[in-house]
Structure 1
Amino acid sequence: MIRLEDVTLFVRAAALGSFSSAAREADLLPGQVSAAVHRLERDLDKRLFVRSTRSLRLTAEGEKYLPFAHEMLAVMQAGAESLHSSDDELQGELKIAVPSDIGRNVLLPLITRFCEQHPKITLRLSLSDQISDIFRDPVDVAIRYGVLDNSSYVALPLAEKNRRVLAASPDYLTQHGRPATLGDITHHHCLLFTMNSHVYDKWTFQENGLRRQLTVKSRMLCDDADVARRWAIAGMGIVYKSWIDISADVEAGRLEVLLPQFTGEAAPLNLICPHRKQFSPAIRQLYGLLREQLSALQPPSP
């Protein structure tokens, strides 16, 4: 019979890439984690990891089993929580991964309000522009920008009409002039950031019904998209960011939208989860709150 603790250690070893790291996290000896995974492999009659002296990686069977292991643990946790909660009271742990900029400046107040309304909720919030692997990382849900092309998880729309826009501060435009065409952008100071360790230096637009891509360069690069927004507010250059990220800055006059007649790249925002069964009452209520607030932030019309 499969032991729940063996499944738990398998999931953590897969996430951390090491039996030793999983052992330290669980306050166990590495041999105990290795033995737990060996028992699970024996029970499943499949090898889950390829082991070497320097690395640990999942086999094809391990990759296939991992999402089911996550779901098994989530169902067990939900069952335990249901025994200790009343029908109208939310409790339990929420592990959420969000992008850095929208996480700090838009989502954080909403999530904080949600936690104030439900004091028995425990929150583990991760803010990063590294894309979380919801099957491997210790998160319940992730909030992501972009058109999703992976049907192996469940995605719920938060702001499907959101897109990227060009923006700069009034001080920058006064000093350097306002671009009149898309081609002018490449002659301006552009502010770049990395997404999942990749430099986002190709800016895409619709021009006369055709797709046009600009490759831009910058002397200033950061691995946090929020920093690029702050640089733009400080007058350091032009930024190409999600409308949700900069809408408050535009409304306050800190930034101005440039060339609004050209439609920027689509950047729909979604809440994603490995399996629909993991949408606990807490996650469903949080989704409703976020959806109500974010769907109202419509980008300017071209």
Structure 2
Amino acid sequence: MRPELLNGLTVFRAVAAERSFTRAATRLGVTQSALSQAIRRLEAELGIRLLDRTTRSVTPNAAGERLLATLEPALAGIEAELASLADLAERPAGRIRVTAGRHAADAVLAPAIVRLLQAYPSIAVEASVDDRYVDIVAEGFDAGIRLRERLENDMIAVRVSPTLRMAVVATPAYWSLHGRPAAPEDLRRHPCITFRSADGGTRPWEFEKDGRELAVKVGGSAVFNDAYLMREAALAGVGPTYLMEDVVDVAVEAGLLERVLADWCEPFEGYHLYYPHKRHQTQAFQLFLEAIRAT
């Protein structure tokens, strides 16, 4: 449809509704002369008169009424859709894909996603929980969450968690039976509950005190790839384990687990959200950044 024809139909609709060229011109924000010319062009284009004019009023004739019957719902539908699109523009939309390890997902990512979706339900978030190393560019993720020490140099990193701290725990009954370690090296004689990373290895337990760093390679028959299973095994009395403080703090406060070597567990910098330098930041991604920073 040519633009001038659509304009003429819009003008005709307004004149028919107002029954007046003057009121229709005011409604549309145009001069009465421009409005009259638009009606004349429309009638000439269609080859038929649409309005009966008198000195007191303007009313649609039979042809005009027939045209209105089709035109009114069509233009109303277009206006409704335009309003819907304007509303959509005010409500950011898009999809965000994020990867994180289990602890980071629980502590940082999940609260941020809930906050984001409650505020902006048109945004979709896909979270992949995976403790392995993930190349976010190669695997199509928008961002990931890791500890700072494991980030690539070409990534933008935004800190998204408070300071973290590790804890060595076992049940009070276990320590009473097997003895509490006085130093990290003493853990080598205990059947420790260890974590197997996605690369298949088990990392040493890392300690620091007064500037001295120490990595202790522990052993034991209980090996898991999930921190929460490690906690359950410790609660069952299997042996000591080494976990993030917030994973065990409720059990410690309840007296179900007892912490040792706390003076060897120094706080360290927490999680960072990372994403490529060249990533185009959509409005949805910016809002996700704001949500996760508020966690």
TM-score, structure 1 length as denominator? Answer: 0.60
What pairs up with 1:73-222 in 2 under 5 angstroms? Answer: 85-87=88-90, 89-104=91-106, 107-159=109-161, 161-222=163-224
Alpha-carbon separation, structure 2, partners of 1:205 and 1:107: 27
Alpha-carbon deviations, 1:139-181, whole Å to 9, x = none? 1111112414521111111236323232233443344333222
Q: In the TM superposition, what is the alpha-carbon distance from 1:123 to its structure 2 partner?
A: 2.1
Alpha-carbon separation, structure 1, partners of 2:289 and 2:235: 30
Q: In the TM superposition, what is the alpha-carbon distance from 1:101 to its structure 2 partner?
A: 3.2
Alpha-carbon separation, structure 2, partners of 1:114 and 1:253: 36
Structure 1 residues 150 and 237: CA distance shift in structure 2, 3 A: same
Alpha-carbon separation, structure 1, partners of 2:173 and 2:111: 29
| Cα-Cα RMSD | 2.9
Alpha-carbon separation, structure 1, partners of 2:248 and 2:259: 9
Structure 1 residues 248 and 112: CA distance shift in structure 2, 3 A: farther
Matched residue of 2:110: which SS? helix
Q: In the TM superposition, what is the alpha-carbon distance from 1:188 to its structure 2 partner?
A: 1.7
Alpha-carbon deviations, 1:208-252, whole Å to 9, x = none? 432222111110112233322332233322222233444454455
* Residue identity in the other structure for 1:209: G
* Residue identity in the other structure for 2:265: T
Structure 1 residues 196 and 101: CA distance shift in structure 2, 3 A: same
Is the 1:98–1:128 Cα contact (8 Å) retained in structure 2?
A: yes
TM-score, structure 2 length as denominator? Answer: 0.61
Alpha-carbon separation, structure 2, partners of 1:105 and 1:159: 8
* Residue identity in the other structure for 2:169: A
Instruction: Give the corresponding residue for 1:12.
Output: none
Alpha-carbon separation, structure 1, partners of 2:160 and 2:108: 13
What pairs up with 1:1-302 in 2 under 5 angstroms? Answer: 85-87=88-90, 89-104=91-106, 107-159=109-161, 161-264=163-266, 266=268, 268-275=270-277, 277-293=279-295
Computing the radius of gyration from Cα coordinates, the structure with the larger value is 2
Q: How many residues align?
A: 211
Is the 1:160–1:270 Cα contact (8 Å) retained in structure 2?
A: no
